[in-house]
Amino acid sequence: MDPFYGPGRNQLFVPGPVNIPEPVLQAMNRNNEDYRAPPVPALTKKLLADVPKIFKSTTGTPFLFPTTGTGAWESALTNTLSPRDRIISFEMGQFSLLWIDQMKRLNFDVDVVHCEWGTGVDLEILRTKLEADKEHKVKAICCVHNETATGVTNNLAAIRTVIDDCMHPALFLVDGVSSVCAIDFRMDEWGVDVALTGSQKALSLPTGLGIVCASPKALEATKTAKSLRVFFDWNDYLKFYKLGTYWPYTPSIQLLYGLRTALDLIFLEGLDNVIARHSRLGRATRLAVEAWGLKNCTQREEWYSDTVTAVVIPPYIDSTEIVKRAWKRYNLSLGLGLNKVAGKVFRIGHLGNLNETFY
C-alpha cells in the first residue's frame, strides 16, 4: 500500500494547530473594546489566575504579551539576565538554533552545545560544564522542551536533577511553545524559572500571544538584570497589575477572549486528559509511520514527541515535493523539513484541537 496515497490517508496525516475550535472562533468574533473599561480588567484578572495552571505552577507569575514565541524568548532573556552573562544552550534543531541566535544578538555569552539533530540534551555534557563552573559564571541554562523541527522532547526533570546535583544556582529557562498543554509540563516540580509558550500551538488559537510564566527566583533576578527592555519589561506589567488595570499598552482583545475560551475547554476536558489524548495520537502517528516502512527522525524512544513527528524519507525523494503534493491533492498541511533536515523529512503535527475521529 502506498503510504501517501492509500485509503485512510487523511486519518493518518493529521493536520497541525490550524484547526481552531468553534467556541474559540465565536468568542473572538467581536468588536474591539476599550481595554480600560471594566470588562477587560475583569477578564484579565481571571486569565492571570488560570494561566499558571497550564504550566502546573502555583507560584509562577504570568505575562501575556501581544507577540509570538520569539518575543516570549526575548522577554525571558532580557528580564532575567545582563549583557555578557554566560548561558548554556543546546542546539538540536531549527528552533533551538534560532533562540541561540537571538541570545547572541542580545549580547549574551552563549556556550552552545551542538547536538546531532534528532537527539536531545546530552546530560553528561551539561553535568561536566556545571561541575567545572566553580565560580558560577553560568547564569542560565536554556532548553527547548519540544524541538518542533525534529520531533524531539527533552526530559526537563532530568535536566533539573543535573542542575541540583551540581548545586548550581543558574536559572532554568524553557521554551514550551509546542509542548505546554499537550506534553506534561511541571514548572514548579521541575524547578523551571521561566516557562513560555505561544497561542498558536496546543491552545489552538491564532498566532499573536506570547505567554510567559516566571518563578519567584526569576522575578528576583529582574532586580539586577541590566539588559535593555521596553516592550517586554515585566516591571511595567507588574506595576499595572498592582493598579488593577493590568495592561501597560493595548492588548489584543479578541485573543484574550479566545484564550479564555481555550482555557475553559482544556479545563473542561481536564489538563491531564488533554495530555493523555496527545500521547495516544502521538503513538498512533508513530505506529503509522512505522507501518509505512519509514523512519522517525528522533533517534531514541525516550525523546519521542507527542505533538509532532518528523518523518525521514528515502534519499531519492525530496520531502518538499511530498508536502506540496499533500497540500495540492488532499488539502492537507504537512510541515517542511527545516535547515539541516530540509528535503530530508516532512513533519506531521498532532496537537491542539484534534481527537481520534478528526480527519
In this predicted model, what pLDDT tens digit does every residue of 227-272 receive, in sequence order? 999 999 999 999 999 999 999 999 999 999 999 999 999 999 999 9
> Nearest 5°: phi and psi at 353?
-80, 70
Nearest to 69 by CA among 112, 102, 38: 102
Residue 7's pLDDT is 34
**Which amino acid is residue 286, in one-letter code?**
R
Return all residues near 18 (Cβ < 8 A) that are at least 6 apart.
333
DSSP three-state, residue 276:
helix
Mean pLDDT of the chain: 93
Between CA 174 and CA 190 the distance in angstroms is 11
pLDDT of 359 strictly over 50: no
> For residue 233, which of 217, 252, 212, 216 has the smallest C-alpha distance?
212
Determine the average pLDDT of the residues in 293-314. 97
3-state SS of 130-173 is HHHCCCCCEEEEEEECEECCCCEECCHHHHHHHHHHCCCCCEEE
φ/ψ (deg, to 5) at 308: -155, 140
**At 113, which amino acid appears?**
V
Does 313 or 3 have the greater pLDDT score?
313
Q: Cell digits for 8?
A: 485512510
The three grid cell numbers given for residue 128, joined into one nine-digit string? 561536566
> Annotated binding residue at 229?
no
The pLDDT of residue 167: 98
Q: What is the pTM of this model?
A: 0.93
Q: Is the pLDDT of residue 25 over 70?
A: yes
How many Å apart are CA 91 and CA 112, to the nearest integer? 7
287/285 Cα distance (integer angstroms)? 5
pLDDT at 14 over 90: no
Distance CA 311, CA 197 (A): 24
Which grid coordinates are listed for 57? 505552577
Say whether pLDDT at 159 is over 50.
Answer: yes
The pLDDT tens digits of the residues spanning 324-338 come to 999 999 988 999 999
DSSP class of 340 = G
Q: Is the pLDDT of residue 134 over 50?
A: yes
CA 197 vs CA 24, 121, 221, 239, 322: distances in Å: 18, 20, 21, 23, 29
Can you list the domains of the chain with their CATH numbers? 11-20+271-349 (3.90.1150.10), 22-266 (3.40.640.10)
Q: Output the pLDDT for position 2.
A: 36
